[in-house]
């Protein structure tokens, strides 16, 4: 049987990993100073793709705040149709938190047209932590697709079960220099109150229950990363580790990688090396957090 | 009073005498501050504490010594300021406890009271140090007991006056011995200020018993101008109408006894401050003599500045709430949330605490030390019963801690010794957090930040191998004097270097009252250039005495 794994461009997995697991990406659109662009997408797309590092360099100078547009139900419908026509028996679509976007809802709406052949899951996460779930689903599909005794629905069910398990064991933290962009983006409720501080602050944010939450405030980067390390130490070692950033200084990004790579468990198979992912953050989120952010996503080896 | 007992009214007059004499000599006590910094004045703190004790009974006609003592102790407890004030209040507390409900204090009761005072004082200090007010209290109690026993052996009785003579003598000797017990006193060339203050209290009581005047200072000597504080002599005596403050440069060296004697002909509340080649005179005079001090000073040299203020309007304007801004409810806190009370030395710093979510801010006032009562009022005003206090000054920690026994609320004092430490702790506050966990996090965050303080030396001294001349700028790193300089900019740079600021990320400068914003900005720009890898932030602090308080993190 063939099961298609679909997600959106906010998944923030390395390109080679995406190809290796045949993950289908539905691109999300951004309007940057009047120009419509796509974040990730197919090779056949007519819409220009965003150069993420350039996006973060340009962000402070942009005249208008970049707006994001969730793929409409029609977009999803086309994708699902196409895949089913290609011979896939079932489609599993994993999308980012409904609190942060209409994307997953639109996917649900589109799925209704396909009489049970499309399963849509709200990852309750964004970026790499959604990526970890997608990878778990991909592995489940690869392991079980060739099984004669399982139906496609049962394979998808197992994939979803593994995603739920991953969701309990993964953590995401980021350090933002300023609340200005979160404030402009208007999607995070606590920002207005936090802005009143007279001292320059950096904020540690996370995603919990699908929402961007405030974990703490610090005065220095070092203080922020020390705190993040404190929060993650009980969850070491890590099965997976990823560092994302909004056009931050590569040296600084590397420092963070170095700080946490020691906790990355060796790969279970000798065939592959467990390497940390380092990727610029999807601008769908990055437009709301602002440039220079550095963040960390980990999947703990420990059961929750 | 009889020669062998003290009743309530007598105790009141003794307390008054002790207060008056201490106030007369407070600048001497202030000058003994080991650390040549202009805050945490022991003398002033002890005066304010005694004043509060006396205010409790000033109008009382109570005859019972026991009840009078209880009232005095209560007043001292509420008005305690600074570590020395708190210990003084503990001395009164022990004293009152021993006297209990007795109508009069006899010689034996006095001995017991002094012993109990000693015990209570020692118990109130986590790590008692010898060579301080504690030692003087111990020596006084011993002297009283010894005097009685000696008299007994000789088959004689000893009366109250004789007891006080022995007590005062013992106190004096004990104070003189303090440098032998506490090396840092010897190094600084001073005796312990708290002990000296206690000595003055008892000496005042003895002077009263002897019928001697309490109006004249023990020693006629000008104090360093950095210690000069007009508002310290806050009482308006009968018959005095104007406050005259003048600066003058004498043509010849002054004969102090004559100078003071002459000024005493004109008025009261005389204070003389010595600056660089000039003197500042403060005096309260009646209307008809308002120009006398000025004419007199002109006859001795050149008068450079005169300020005359009407004392009555001054008194009317300085209402308790106006001057001190004791408590300042900043942010709304719900019942059950954790409320933080921050003690702040300046309006700008208060605003920063407020912006970080402090439920209330208590201003330390000119002495930078709030009283127990002032902090307690802020505590009681909060709608929550989970309270955390940030004293932000080592001289306020004890005062904050003494509120614990005075309130039903849960109170924790985070031992922040500076504003930067307090701010670092404030960042870990979470109104909804677990009380014990938050306390632990706030406490451990204190060591993550370095504090630099820039101020003027109140005394010439050599500390940590750094020679310091009175009036010079000095830089302290985490409470250690490491830098002296004649120039503010240079002092800041040197102090930051001594704090190894180049190894840190963020330098935050809080500039003090009296430093113009432009000058602060210029210095900030110079610091930015000297530390190109650090972020430098400038904030208005508004604190007195310290041109800069700097956090390095």
| CA B410 vs CA B359, B388, B439: distances in Å | 15, 8, 12
Comparing A165-169, B225-229, B396-400, B516-520, the range with the smallest average pLDDT is: B225-229
End-to-end CA distance of chain A: 32
Q: CA nearest B245: which of B259, B224, B231, B265?
A: B231
Domain boundary among A168, A194, A216: A168
B40-44, B282-286, B362-366, B472-476: which is most confident: B472-476
Q: CA nearest B234: which of B125, B137, B117, B319?
A: B319
Burial of B119 (0-12, 13-18, 19+ CB in 10 A): middle
Q: Mean pLDDT score of chain A, rounded to an integer?
A: 89
CA distance B110 to B104: 10
Residue A176 pairs in a beta bridge with A203
Which residue carries 């007519």 as its tokens? A46
Judgement on whether residues A153 and A127 belong to the same structural domain of the protein:
yes
Tell me the CATH number at A65: 3.40.50.10170
Q: Give the model's confidence band at B2: pLDDT under 50 very low, under 70 low, under 90 confident, else very high.
A: low
Contacts of B539 in chain A (CB under 8 A): 198-199
pLDDT at A211 over 50: yes
Contacts of A204 in chain B (CB under 8 A): none
Contact B448 A223 (CB under 8 A): yes
pLDDT at B533 over 70: yes
Q: CA nearest A72: which of A19, A42, A113, A110?
A: A110
* Chain A contact for B424 (CB, 8 A cutoff): yes
Dump pLDDT digits (tens) for B286-295: 989 999 999 9
Kindly report the pTM of this predicted structure.
Answer: 0.80
Judgement on whether residues A132 and A226 belong to the same structural domain of the protein:
no
Contact A198 B351 (CB under 8 A): yes
Judgement on whether residues A150 and A182 belong to the same structural domain of the protein:
no
Dump pLDDT digits (tens) for B418-430: 999 999 999 989 8
Judgement on whether residues A231 and A140 belong to the same structural domain of the protein:
no
Element (H, E) at B489: helix B488-498
How many domains does chain A fold into? Answer: 2
Dump pLDDT digits (tens) for A281-299: 999 889 988 999 999 999 9
pLDDT at B213 over 50: yes
pLDDT at B254 (0 to 100)? 85
Judgement on whether residues A246 and A293 belong to the same structural domain of the protein:
yes
CA distance A91 to chain B (A): 43
Q: Give the model's confidence band at A33: pLDDT under 50 very low, under 70 low, under 90 confident, else very high.
A: confident
Residue B550 pairs in a beta bridge with B452, B509
Q: Mean pLDDT score of chain B, rounded to an integer?
A: 89
Contacts of B504 in chain A (CB under 8 A): 220
CA distance B367 to chain A (A): 26
Q: Are strands B301-310 and B268-274 parallel, antiparallel or unpaired?
A: unpaired
Q: Enumerate residues 6+ apart whose C-beta is below 8 A from B129.
A: B182
pLDDT at B138 over 90: yes
Nearest CB partner across the interface for B537, out of A196, A200, A216: A200
Contacts of A194 in chain B (CB under 8 A): none
Judgement on whether residues A140 and A49 belong to the same structural domain of the protein:
yes
pLDDT at B217 (0 to 100)? 59
* Chain A contact for B553 (CB, 8 A cutoff): yes
pLDDT at A193 (0 to 100)? 63
pLDDT at B516 over 70: yes
Domain boundary among A118, A146, A168: A168
Nearest CB partner across the interface for A196, out of B355, B427, B504: B355
DSSP code for B446: G
Rg, Å, chain A Cα set: 19
Percent of chain B with pLDDT over 90: 67
Judgement on whether residues A128 and A242 belong to the same structural domain of the protein:
no
* Chain B contact for A230 (CB, 8 A cutoff): no
Judgement on whether residues A7 and A139 belong to the same structural domain of the protein:
yes
Tell me the CATH number at A284: 3.30.1180.10
Contact A199 B423 (CB under 8 A): yes
CA distance B401 to B396: 9
pLDDT at B324 (0 to 100)? 41
**Least CA distance to B505: which residue of chain A?**
A220
CA distance B296 to B254: 12
CA distance B105 to B486: 56
Dump pLDDT digits (tens) for B25-53: 888 898 888 888 887 689 989 999 999 99
Nearest CB partner across the interface for A198, out of B427, B448, B539: B539
Q: In B426-439, which positions are buried (b, 16+ CB within 10 angstroms) versus exposed (e)? A: bbbbbbebeeeebb
Domain boundary among A168, A195, A229: A168
Q: Are strands B105-106 and B223-224 parallel, antiparallel or unpaired?
A: unpaired
pLDDT at A48 over 70: yes
List helix spans (H) across A59-202. Answer: 73-85, 103-111, 127-144, 152-169, 180-185, 191-194
Judgement on whether residues A20 and A72 belong to the same structural domain of the protein:
yes
Question: DSSP string covering B341-393, please?
Answer: EEEESSHHHHHHHHHTT-SEEEE-TTTT--BHHHHHHHHHHSS-SEEEEE--S
Contacts of B349 in chain A (CB under 8 A): none
* Chain B contact for A220 (CB, 8 A cutoff): yes
User: Are the beta carbons of B147 and B166 closer than 8 angstroms?
Assistant: yes
pLDDT at A88 (0 to 100)? 93
DSSP code for B81: B
pLDDT at B342 (0 to 100)? 96
| CA A270 vs CA A18, A273, A274: distances in Å | 21, 7, 10
Instruction: List domains and CATH numbers for chain B.
Output: 5-210 (1.25.40.340), 235-317 (3.30.70.1150), 320-448 (3.40.50.510), 450-552 (3.30.1180)
What strand order describes the sheet that includes A67-69?
A35-39, A28-32, A67-69
Contacts of A217 in chain B (CB under 8 A): 427
Judgement on whether residues A26 and A155 belong to the same structural domain of the protein:
yes
Contacts of B450 in chain A (CB under 8 A): none
Dump pLDDT digits (tens) for B161-175: 999 999 999 999 999
* Chain A contact for B503 (CB, 8 A cutoff): no
How many degrees, rounded to 5, is the angle at CA B478 between CA B472 and CA B483? 30
pLDDT, mean of residues B320-349: 76
* Chain B contact for A223 (CB, 8 A cutoff): yes
* Chain B contact for A192 (CB, 8 A cutoff): no
Judgement on whether residues A162 and A183 belong to the same structural domain of the protein:
no
Q: Which residue range forms the structural domain that includes residue A153?
A: 3-168
HSE at residue B222, side-chain half, CA atoms within 13 A, is 20
pLDDT at B192 (0 to 100)? 94
Nearest CB partner across the interface for B505, out of A196, A199, A221: A221
Q: CA nearest B509: which of B484, B534, B486, B485?
A: B534
Contact A223 B504 (CB under 8 A): no
CA distance A228 to chain B (A): 14
* Chain A contact for B46 (CB, 8 A cutoff): no
Q: Give the model's confidence band at B318: pLDDT under 50 very low, under 70 low, under 90 confident, else very high.
A: low
Dump pLDDT digits (tens) for A50-94: 889 999 999 999 888 888 888 899 999 999 999 999 999 999 999
CA distance A177 to chain B (A): 13
Judgement on whether residues A293 and A196 belong to the same structural domain of the protein:
yes
Q: Give the model's confidence band at B267: pLDDT under 50 very low, under 70 low, under 90 confident, else very high.
A: confident
Contact A217 B427 (CB under 8 A): yes
Which residue carries 């509420």 as its tokens? B78
Three-state secondary structure call for residue B289: helix
- Which 313-352 residues of chain B touch chain A by CB within 8 A? 351-352
pLDDT at A42 (0 to 100)? 54
Dump pLDDT digits (tens) for B446-466: 999 999 999 999 888 888 889
* Chain B contact for A200 (CB, 8 A cutoff): yes
Nearest CB partner across the interface for B537, out of A199, A216, A217: A199
**Least CA distance to B350: which residue of chain A?**
A198
pLDDT at A177 (0 to 100)? 85
């Amino acid at each position: 049987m063939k099961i298609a794994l679909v997600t959106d461009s906010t998944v923030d997995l390395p390109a080679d990993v995406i190809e290796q697991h045949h993950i289908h990406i539905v691109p999300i659109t951004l309007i940057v100073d009047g120009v419509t662009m796509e974040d990730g997408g197919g090779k056949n797309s007519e819409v220009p793709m965003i150069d993420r590092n350039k996006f973060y360099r340009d962000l402070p100078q942009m005249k208008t705040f970049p707006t994001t547009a969730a793929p409409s139900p029609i977009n999803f419908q086309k994708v699902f149709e196409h895949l089913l026509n290609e011979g896939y028996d079932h489609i599993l679509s994993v999308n980012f938190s409904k609190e942060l976007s209409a994307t997953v809802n639109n996917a649900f709406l589109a799925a209704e047209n396909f009489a049970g052949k499309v399963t849509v899951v709200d990852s309750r996460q964004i970026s790499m932590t959604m990526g970890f779930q997608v990878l778990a689903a991909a592995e489940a599909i690869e392991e079980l697709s060739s099984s004669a005794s399982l139906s496609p629905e049962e394979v998808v069910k197992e994939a979803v079960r593994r995603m739920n398990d991953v969701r309990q064991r993964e953590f995401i933290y980021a350090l933002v220099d300023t609340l200005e962009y979160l404030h402009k983006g208007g999607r995070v409720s606590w920002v207005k109150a936090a802005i009143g501080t007279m001292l320059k602050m950096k904020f540690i944010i996370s995603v919990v229950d699908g929402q961007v939450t405030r974990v703490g405030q610090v005065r220095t980067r070092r203080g922020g990363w020390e705190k993040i390390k404190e929060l993650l130490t009980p969850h070491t070692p890590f099965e997976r580790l990823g560092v994302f950033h909004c056009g931050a200084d590569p040296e600084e990004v590397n420092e963070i990688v170095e700080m946490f790579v020691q906790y990355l468990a060796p790969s279970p198979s000798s065939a592959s090396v467990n390497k940390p992912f380092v990727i610029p953050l999807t601008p769908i989120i990055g437009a709301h957090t602002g440039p220079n952010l550095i963040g960390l996503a980990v999947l703990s080896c420990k059961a929750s | 009073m009889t020669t062998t007992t003290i009743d309530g009214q007598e105790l009141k007059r003794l307390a008054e005498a002790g207060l008056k004499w201490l106030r007369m000599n407070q600048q001497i006590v202030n000058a003994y501050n080991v650390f040549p910094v202009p805050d945490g004045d022991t003398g002033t703190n002890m005066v304010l504490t005694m004043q509060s004790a006396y205010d409790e009974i000033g109008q009382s006609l109570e005859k019972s010594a026991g009840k009078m003592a209880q009232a005095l102790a209560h007043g001292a407890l509420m008005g305690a300021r600074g570590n020395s004030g708190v210990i003084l209040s503990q001395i009164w507390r022990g004293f009152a406890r021993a006297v209990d409900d007795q109508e009069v204090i006899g010689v034996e009761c006095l001995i017991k009271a002094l012993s109990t005072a000693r015990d209570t004082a020692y118990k109130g200090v986590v790590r008692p140090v010898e060579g301080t007010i504690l030692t003087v209290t111990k020596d006084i109690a011993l002297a009283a007991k010894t005097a009685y026993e000696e008299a007994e052996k000789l088959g004689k009785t000893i009366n109250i006056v004789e007891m006080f003579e022995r007590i005062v003598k013992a106190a004096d000797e004990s104070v003189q011995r303090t440098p032998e017990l506490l090396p840092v006193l010897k190094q600084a060339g001073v005796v312990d200020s708290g002990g000296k203050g206690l000595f003055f209290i008892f000496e005042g009581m003895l002077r009263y018993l002897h019928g001697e005047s309490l109006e004249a200072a023990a020693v006629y000597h000008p104090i360093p101008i950095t210690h000069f504080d007009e508002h310290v002599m806050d009482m308006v005596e009968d018959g005095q109408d104007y406050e005259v403050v003048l600066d003058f440069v004498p043509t010849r060296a002054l004969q102090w006894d004559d100078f003071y004697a002459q000024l005493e002909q004109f008025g009261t509340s005389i204070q003389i401050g010595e600056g660089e080649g000039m003197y500042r005179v403060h005096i309260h005079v009646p209307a008809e003599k308002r120009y006398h001090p000025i004419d007199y000073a002109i006859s001795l040299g050149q008068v450079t500045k005169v300020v005359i203020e009407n004392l009555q309007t001054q008194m009317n304007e300085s209402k308790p709430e106006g001057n001190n801004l004791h408590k300042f409810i900043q942010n709304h806190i719900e019942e059950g949330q954790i409320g933080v009370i921050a003690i702040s030395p300046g309006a700008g710093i208060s605003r920063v605490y407020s912006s970080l979510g402090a439920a209330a801010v208590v201003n330390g006032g000119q002495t930078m030390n709030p009283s127990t009562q002032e902090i307690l009022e802020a505590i009681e005003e909060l709608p929550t019963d989970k309270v955390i206090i940030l004293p932000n000054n080592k001289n306020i920690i004890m005062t904050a801690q003494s509120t614990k026994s005075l309130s039903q609320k849960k109170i924790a004092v985070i031992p922040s010794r500076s504003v930067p430490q307090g701010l670092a702790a404030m960042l870990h506050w979470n109104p909804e957090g677990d009380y014990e966990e938050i306390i632990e996090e706030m406490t451990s965050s204190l060591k993550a930040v370095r504090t630099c303080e820039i101020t003027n030396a109140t005394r010439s001294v050599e500390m940590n191998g750094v020679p310091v001349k009175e009036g010079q700028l000095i830089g302290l790193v985490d409470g250690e004097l490491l830098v002296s300089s004649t120039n503010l900019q240079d002092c800041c740079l040197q102090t930051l270097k001594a704090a190894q600021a180049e190894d840190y990320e963020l330098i935050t400068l809080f500039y003090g009252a009296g430093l113009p914003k432009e000058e602060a900005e210029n210095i900030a720009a110079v610091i930015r250039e000297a530390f190109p890898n650090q972020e430098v932030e400038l904030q208005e602090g508004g604190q007195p005495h310290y041109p800069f308080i700097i956090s390095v993190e």
